[in-house]
């Protein structure tokens, strides 16, 4: 069987295979602020913007700061499976100081989540599109080591 083509849900937000899953953002070389998703100019009002932004790959691991369970299908463009399966949503803070939200992959026991626990960025299939492509997104799951 031919392997399914894998495409990102948002182009340029997440590294794709064979690279390890990392969120792609940028950093202002003038003031040091990080941005995710990428911005075209620094958004820090106090920044003198004398130096350009640089592309960065964020740390894969961060700390869980909040989570919830989504019991209702989000509106389009979200592709909700039918029947809908509730899923967890996490907000984590990365060592670079930015907060990012993402789904929690299927199979993670949501009762096992604890605030401040270490989470890692993973790449999971969000849905399959009409052409049979696997659409990938970043998600966050507890670090198991
Ligand atoms: Zn700046």
pLDDT of 32 reads 97
- Domain assignment present for 84: yes
Is the confidence at residue 111, as pLDDT, over 80?
yes
| Residue 43 falls inside a structural domain | no
- Report how far ligand 1's centroid is from the alpha carbon of 99 (Å): 18
Length of the chain: 145
Average of per-residue pLDDT across 82-106: 94
The answer as to whether 46 is a domain residue is no
Task: Give residue 135 CA to ligand 1 midpoint distance, Å.
Answer: 33
Give the distance (Å) from ligand 1 centre to CA of residue 55. 13
In a domain, 66, yes or no: yes
Whole-number Å distance, alpha carbon 34 to ligand 1 midpoint, is 9
Structure tokens at 79: 């592709």
Q: What is the 40 CA–ligand 1 centroid distance (Å)?
A: 11
Q: Answer whether residue 118 is part of any domain.
A: yes
Residue ranges near ligand 1 (ion) with Cβ within 5 Å: 28, 30-31, 42, 44, 47
Distance (angstroms) between ligand 1 centre and the Cα of 36 equals: 14
The larger pLDDT score, comparing residue 5 to residue 79, is at 5
Cα(25) to centroid(ligand 1), Å = 14
Q: Which residue range(s) make up the domain with 71?
A: 6-23+58-142
Residue 13 lies in a domain: yes
How many domains does the chain contain in total? 1
CATH no. for residue 92?
2.40.50.840
- What is the per-residue pLDDT across 58-89, written as a single tens digit (0 to 9) for each? 999 999 999 999 999 888 888 888 888 889 99
pLDDT band, residue 145 (cuts 50/70/90) = low
pLDDT tens digits for 26-45?
999 999 999 999 999 999 99
> Is residue 69 domain-resident?
yes
């Amino acid at each position: 069987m031919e392997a399914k083509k894998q495409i990102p849900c948002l182009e340029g937000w997440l590294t794709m295979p064979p690279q390890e899953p990392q969120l792609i953002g940028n950093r202002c070389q003038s003031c040091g602020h990080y941005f995710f998703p990428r911005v075209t100019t620094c958004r820090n009002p106090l920044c003198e913007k004398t130096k350009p932004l640089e592309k960065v790959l964020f740390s894969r691991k961060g700390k869980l700061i909040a989570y919830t369970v989504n019991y209702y299908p989000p509106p389009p463009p979200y592709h909700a499976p039918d029947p809908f399966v509730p899923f967890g949503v996490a907000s984590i803070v990365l060592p670079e100081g930015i907060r990012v939200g993402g789904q929690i992959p299927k199979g993670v026991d949501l009762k096992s989540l604890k605030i401040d626990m270490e989470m890692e960025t993973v790449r999971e299939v969000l849905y399959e599109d009409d052409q049979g492509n696997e659409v990938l997104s970043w998600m966050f799951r507890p670090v198991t080591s």
